[in-house]
Amino acid sequence: MDARELKALVAENPYGGTAKEVSTLCRGIYQASVELDAKTMRSVRDEIPITDKIFSKLKVIGKTLSALPPDQLQIVVKALPDSYTTIQVLCGLKPQELFTAAKSKSISRTTTIRSARDYVNRVRHPSLAGDPTKPTRTQGHTESRAGDPTWKTILTLHEDPERPLTEEDRQNLLEALRGVLQVYGVEARTPETSETASSLKIKERALRETFWRQVLEQELPQRWFDETPQEVRKQFNLKTLQEVHRTPLRQFTGFLVRSSGGRKFLWETYGKAYIAKIHLEHEKTDDRTQRY
C-alpha cells in the first residue's frame, strides 16, 4: 500500500462508520504502517483528518484483525458493533479470543463499550470479574487496585527504604497527584501486596483455572452427563462426568460432537462449554509449549 492508496482508504472508510468500514480502514492503516517508511507514514498522517491518538487506536485494531484468517475475520466483523472505540476495547483480546467471542455470540453488534470492557476483563482476568472493590471511586476520580487491565503502566513511584512514607503521607501524596492525573486522563493504582510478578502470575493462572473449571461444570452438569447415550460413553471410555471434564481436548471435542448429533451442532449446543475447556487447558498446564 502506498501513500495515495492510504489517503483514499481513509476518505472512503470513516472511522466513525460501520464495523465493516472500521475494519477495512484499520487493516489498511496497519498494513501501511508495516510497508511504508517512517518519513512517508508521518507525512501521510499529517495530511489525513485523524488525530494521532485515534490513529494509534485504529492501528491497534488493524493489527488484531489482520492476524485473523479471512474466514474468521468475516465472522468477527459481522459481530462487531459500529463503534471504533468499542472495537478497540475488544481488540484487547488475542485474535483467537476475539474470534471465539464472535463465534459463541458472546459479543454482537449491540455490544456496548461497558459490556465490552466487562467481557475482556472476564476473559483476560476472570479473577477480577464481579469484584465490587475493583476499582473504587473517590471524589469522582478512579483510584484502583486493579482496574481496567487493558491500561498500561507508564510511570512507577519509588520510596527510600530508609525513609518510608507513613500511611498519612501516602494519602496526602495521592491527593496531591489526583488533580494532575485527571488532566492527562490517567489513574493511580496501589499494589495490594509485595508479591513478586512471577508469584502474582501463578496466582492469577490458578484463579483463572478455577474460574473456567466452574464455567465448565455449570455448562456440563451431572444431569447432562446422565442423559448422554451409553454407546457414546463406551466409545470414548468415559465413565463419569469428572472424566469428561479432565479428558484431553481432542477426546473432549469428539465426545461433544457425538453427543450433539454432529459437528455442525457443536457450537450451537456446546459453544460455551467448549470455550471454557479451551481456556481451562490453557491455564492448567505449566508447560508454555503445551498451552492452546
For the chain, state the CA radius of gyration.
23
Contact 109, 44 (CB under 8 A): no
Q: What pLDDT does 38 receive?
A: 86
> In this structure, what C-alpha cell is assigned to residue 203?
496466582
Q: Are residues 86 and 170 in the same domain?
A: no
Average pLDDT score over residue span 25-33: 93
Task: Point out the domain boundary residue: 68, 89, 124.
Answer: 124
76-90, 159-173, 240-254 — which is least confidently predicted? 159-173
Task: Point out the domain boundary residue: 91, 124, 157.
Answer: 124
Q: Are residues 23 and 105 in the same domain?
A: yes
Task: Point out the domain boundary residue: 189, 205, 221.
Answer: 189
> In this structure, what C-alpha cell is assigned to residue 157?
513511584
Contact 271, 103 (CB under 8 A): yes
Q: Are residues 212 and 161 in the same domain?
A: no
Q: Is residue 205 part of a domain?
A: yes
- To the nearest whole number, what is the mean pLDDT of the chain? 82
Range of the domain at 214: 197-290
Q: Centre a 10 Å sphere on the Cβ of residue 45 and count the other Cβ atoms it contains.
A: 17
Q: Are residues 10 and 68 in the same domain?
A: yes
Q: Are residues 183 and 108 in the same domain?
A: no
Residue scoring higher pLDDT (279 or 200)? 279
Residue 137 has pLDDT above 50, yes or no: no
Q: Are residues 15 and 111 in the same domain?
A: yes
Q: Is residue 268 part of a domain?
A: yes
The position carrying cell 459481530 is 79
Q: Are residues 55 and 146 in the same domain?
A: no
Q: What pLDDT does 181 receive?
A: 73
Q: What pLDDT does 134 receive?
A: 42
Q: Are residues 169 and 278 in the same domain?
A: no
Q: Are residues 169 and 270 in the same domain?
A: no
Q: Are residues 84 and 11 in the same domain?
A: yes
DSSP-assigned beta bridge partners for residue 142:
137
Residue 96 host element (H or E):
helix 95-103
CA 21 from centre of chain? 22
Instruction: State yes or no: cis peptide before 135, omega within 30 of 0.
Output: yes
Q: Is residue 248 part of a domain?
A: yes
Q: Is residue 129 part of a domain?
A: no
Q: What pLDDT does 144 receive?
A: 41
Q: Which amino acid is at 231?
A: E
Residue 240 has pLDDT above 50, yes or no: yes
Q: Are residues 271 and 207 in the same domain?
A: yes
Contact 145, 134 (CB under 8 A): yes
Q: Which amino acid is at 73?
A: L
Rounded to whole angstroms, what are the CA distances from 70 to 66, 77, 286? 9, 10, 32
- Identify the three-state secondary structure at position 63: helix
pLDDT in tens, 54-113: 999 999 999 999 999 999 999 999 999 999 999 999 999 999 999 988 988 889 999 999
Q: Is residue 130 part of a domain?
A: no
Count: domains in the chain: 3
Q: Are residues 104 and 143 in the same domain?
A: no
pLDDT in tens, 140-156: 444 444 455 556 778 88
